[in-house]
């Protein structure tokens, strides 16, 4: 398989950085953007051949500049990972702040719109390409007290299904990956927040996540990258419009 040209949003840490590392390790060209300037600088140092830019996915002009730079440099793109996301506020819906709700949807959903719109324009013209959207098992099951995040991740599944229909005839595939609870900084923060809110120990909260899966497991960022690399391979040439859960089979999302 020849080297691919891969764009990753939210690519400077966590799952996005692992995607960047894994695509780069197999010889692909990678461009990433992220809203965390320090993380972008570190990613650039770790992956010197990568185009790494400090851009917020909700900044339409910034995204346009970043993606135009990529298109000019590469002359096209093969894989676009709309991965940037944020957890948003937790709480009962009657207590949620409207601005916090909107900010969560803005990053998770509107940022993906800007990313996918550019990808669709380039890929339709090419007659080929793959869009990979990072949803979540939350978007498949729902999670109490996480309504903005769930609504956004559920919305991304609708976006995946619809774009697969719109772009399939042009030779473009669109799939979503739904990670379960992935080990790393983000889940450490979530576990600490949930432990503080519930009065449980962090270990007890972690056990709830493990016991909520059939395989009694957490997931790693490399598990997500394995799925992304498979979807970007010829073996997945007939897979589109799907939501691939990499989660140890979630049975319960109720904490
Ligand atoms: P993370 O916090 O480690 O990484 C997310 C990255 O996105 C960070 O580098 C952050 O700076 C960046 N980002 C946030 N807002 C941004 C914005 N407005 N513009 C550009 N970049 C922005 O988290 P992660 O676990 O790697 O999450 C990656 C994706 O996976 C997210 O969409 C998340 O919702 C999804 N996900 C994560 C888990 C999990 O357990 N970690 C589970 C399901 C889904």
Domain ranges for the chain: 5-180+220-245, 182-218
Local confidence pLDDT in tens for the 255 residues of the chain: 789 999 999 999 999 999 999 999 999 999 999 999 999 999 999 999 999 999 999 999 999 999 999 999 999 999 999 999 999 988 899 999 999 999 999 999 999 999 999 999 999 999 999 999 999 999 999 988 899 999 999 999 999 999 999 999 999 999 999 999 999 999 998 888 778 877 889 999 899 899 999 999 999 999 999 999 999 999 999 999 999 999 999 998 776
Q: How confident is the model at residue 253, as a pLDDT?
A: 74
In ligand 1, the atom with minimum distance to the C-alpha of 134 is: 32
For a pocket test of ligand 1, which of 85, 149, 205, 219 has the largest count of ligand atoms closer than 8 A to its C-beta? 85
Strand 29-34, strand 5-9: pairing? parallel
How far, in Å, CA of 24 to CA of 36, rounded? 21
Q: Which CATH code fits 5-180+220-245?
A: 3.40.50.720
Which candidate, 221, 209, 189, 222, places its Cα nearest to that of 251?
Answer: 209
Q: How confident is the model at residue 147, as a pLDDT?
A: 94
pTM: 0.97
C-alpha of residue 180 to centroid of ligand 1, in Å: 13
HSE of 220 in the Cβ direction (CA atoms, 13 Å)? Answer: 4
- Which protein residues touch ligand 1 with a CB less than 6 Å away? 9-10, 12-16, 34-36, 39, 56-58, 83-86, 107, 111, 134, 136, 179, 181-182, 184-187
What ipTM was reported for this prediction?
0.99
């Amino acid at each position: 398989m020849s080297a691919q040209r891969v764009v990753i949003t939210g690519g400077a840490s966590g799952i996005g950085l692992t995607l960047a590392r894994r695509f780069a390790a197999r010889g692909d060209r990678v461009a990433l953007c992220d809203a965390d300037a320090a993380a972008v600088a570190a990613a650039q140092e770790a992956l010197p051949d990568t185009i790494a830019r400090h851009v917020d996915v909700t900044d339409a002009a910034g995204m346009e500049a970043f993606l135009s730079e990529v298109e000019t440099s590469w002359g096209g793109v093969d894989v676009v990972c709309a991965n940037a996301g944020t957890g948003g506020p937790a709480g009962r819906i009657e207590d949620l702040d409207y601005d916090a709700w909107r900010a969560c949807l803005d990053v998770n959903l509107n940022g993906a719109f800007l990313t996918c719109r550019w990808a669709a324009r380039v890929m339709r013209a090419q007659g080929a390409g793959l869009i990979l959207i990072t949803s979540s098992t939350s978007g498949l099951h729902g999670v109490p007290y996480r309504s903005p995040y769930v609504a956004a991740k559920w919305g991304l599944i609708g976006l995946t299904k619809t774009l697969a229909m719109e772009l399939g005839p042009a030779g473009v595939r669109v799939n979503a990956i739904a990670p379960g609870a992935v080990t790393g900084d983000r889940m450490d923060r979530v576990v600490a927040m949930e432990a503080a809110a519930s009065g449980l120990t962090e270990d007890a909260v972690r056990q709830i996540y493990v016991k909520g899966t059939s395989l009694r497991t957490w997931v790693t960022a490399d598990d997500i990258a394995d799925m992304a690399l498979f979807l970007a391979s010829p073996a997945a040439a007939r897979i589109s419009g799907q939501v691939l859960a990499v989660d140890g089979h979630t049975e319960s999302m109720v904490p």
